[in-house]
Amino acid sequence: MTLQEATFSLLNKLRVIYSASEAAAITDLVMEQLTGSDKTERMLYKNNPITNEEVERLGHYTERLLQQEPVQYVLNESWFCGLKFYVDKKVLIPRPETEELVEWIISNCKFPIDQLEILDIGTGSGCIPVTLKRRLRKAVVTACDISETALGVARKNAARLGADVNFLQLDILDRSKWPALPRFDIIVSNPPYIPENNKASMDPNVLQYEPHTALFVPDNNALLFYKAIAELGKSHLDQNGTLFFEIHEDLGLAIMDLLAKAGYQAELKKDMQGKDRMIKAELG
């Protein structure tokens, strides 16, 4: 089987369940990892045969992809802010809108930074704290998650990407654990925020494969994490400290109201798709 034949074989199979553009994007990711060559190089050698080992791996990948398993889990990799992160089903796949949140945090930092204490709550793959540590070298970055298996993934990414991040297993809803935490200049979180009743409208590749504990909140208490973190901020943010949140696009006004009642001055920001997806808040 030539490289071109392998590419077209995968592409045609994926077109059955994905749009043409999605199928092409997934095929490109798979073939790049399979061969170690970018698209331009693969075009130059399109008539070269692929090895038996590559044929076997391609068959394995194809079988999983046709079950609508996300390509990031199949390949165990996901790009975020120009960095390649390891991901598996223990953690959420990093999203482009979260990249926008990280860039917003960095743009709000006053340089040069002598000392900055940052806490990321619900860290998952570690994409937020690892990227912040890489970009804000002098910052002291701490990240917590309720899941020890998720923290294992985050620690792996921090080690692979050379980021000195402090990781803690912590249920942020357990207020009895808060006194052990230091004070911070920045607290950031992309917490679970999808109401349970949204499940019926979600794509199968998200619903069947990504960890539900990192996605969903009860329909009658969709803001529980934002409420808890706002309360934490009142006791654990330094003077002029800031909260940063990623939010559900439908919950922006409700979270702004919650923060106002808690004594914060907040700003709601749209992502590149024009959706309300980020909030910055400071104690008034």
State the average pLDDT over residues 55-82.
Answer: 96
**Cα(146)–Cα(138) distance, rounded to whole angstroms?**
26
Model-level pTM? 0.92
State the average pLDDT over residues 31-57.
Answer: 92
pLDDT in tens, 153-206: 999 999 999 999 999 999 999 999 999 999 999 999 999 877 777 776 777 777
Q: Where are the alpha helices (DSSP H) in 162-223?
A: 204-207
CA distances to 208, 230, 258, 269, 283 from 261, in Å? 37, 10, 5, 19, 11
pLDDT in tens, 200-249: 677 777 777 777 777 777 777 889 999 999 999 999 999 889 999 999 99
Residue with tokens 């990240």, as numbered in its chain: 143
Query: Which has more confidence, 45 or 264?
Result: 264
Backbone angles phi, psi at 283, to 5 degrees: -65, 130
Q: What is the pLDDT at residue 112?
A: 66
Domain ranges of the chain: 3-67, 82-283
Write down the CATH superfamily of domain 82-283: Vaccinia Virus protein VP39 (3.40.50.150)
CA-based nearest residue to 71, from 56, 40, 93, 52: 93
pLDDT in tens, 94-141: 999 999 999 999 999 876 677 899 999 999 999 999 999 999 999 999
Judge whether 244 and 279 are in contact, CB under 8 Å. Answer: yes
